[in-house]
Structure 1
Amino acid sequence: MTQTTVTAKRLTIQIRLEPGCLGPDGKSHIETFCAAATRIFAAIEPERVHWVLLPRHDKQLPEQTFFLGDRKLSEEQAAQLMSRLGLDLATLQERSDAMLALLVERYFKTL
């Protein structure tokens, strides 16, 4: 399998985080937090998933969006793709939620 094929099969999961999750001063820290969290998330299923964590300044945007290349996928399509790649999307989402909770907790300890 070539690198191009592996990259083409990677699901991109875009997670938008509310600045308020970092407390009342979250707006001033959310950009840095998202950049650091994206680097940490890169270690979660790196051959099959590409993580992008962004601030959620517009509440009309969804918390999670899924992509295969430039193509936007529904959650059902993302789950089917993950299943073909040997992963369960719900389990992956649970892992990402737990990791985010841990990172937010660590953030508060640094204040």
Structure 2
Amino acid sequence: MSYELPLPLYKKLTVTFRVEPGCLGPDGIEHIEAFCKFAKQEVANLDSDFVRWVITPRFDKSLLETEYKTNNKRLDHDKAQKYLRVFGKNLDEFEEHLQDKLAELIDQFLGR
């Protein structure tokens, strides 16, 4: 399969990552909205040919930390893995890279 990049928005993998306010420290609830906006801008260009990023606070613990969708349909782990494989990516490495990037961004945001 070959795809013309960048993909149209509806074909991109929408990666929703929900950030716990507590990861910003004891007063994280006061900063979580600003952090999510900052993080969204910082990751916007990562794999942007085929990924659309949504970084949002995780106020509801019943929601998954990371969620994948394409064409408004939720993808389970296996389907997300297959989607990323088309672009030469491994889902576990992809998630690990995102986690590492967000940890860096938290430090940057908090001025560490």
Q: Give the alignment partner of residue 52 of structure 2, picking from 25, 29, 50.
A: 50
Pairing 1:32–2:34 present: yes
SS of 2:14's partner is: strand
The structure whose residues are more often helix, as a share, is: 1
The residue number in structure 2 matching 1:68 is 70
Instruction: Label 1:85 to 1:9 Cα distance change in 2 as closer, same or farther (>3 A).
Output: farther
Would you identify which runs of 4 or more consecutive aligned residues in structure 1 move more than 2 Å?
Answer: 5-9
Q: Deviations over 1:47-69 (max 9, x none)?
A: 01111011000111110110002
The residue number in structure 2 matching 1:88 is 90
Q: Deviations over 1:28-78 (max 9, x none)?
A: 110110011011111110001111011000111110110002101101110
Q: Which amino acid aligns with 1:101?
A: A
- Percent identity reads 34
Work out the CA distance in 1 between the residues paired with 2:110 and 2:63. Answer: 26
Instruction: Label 1:79 to 1:2 Cα distance change in 2 as closer, same or farther (>3 A).
Output: closer
The residue number in structure 2 matching 1:13 is 15
> Structure 2 length normalisation: TM-score?
0.88
Work out the CA distance in 2 between the residues paired with 1:54 and 1:2. Answer: 26
Unaligned runs of 5+ in 1: none
Number of matched pairs: 109
Residue pair 2:14, 2:70 contacting (<8 A) in 1 also: yes
Instruction: Label 1:107 to 1:82 Cα distance change in 2 as closer, same or farther (>3 A).
Output: same
Q: Which amino acid aligns with 1:49?
A: V
Unaligned runs of 5+ in 2: none
Work out the CA distance in 2 between the residues paired with 1:73 and 1:90. Answer: 15
Q: Give the alignment partner of residue 101 of structure 2, picking from 95, 99, 102.
A: 99
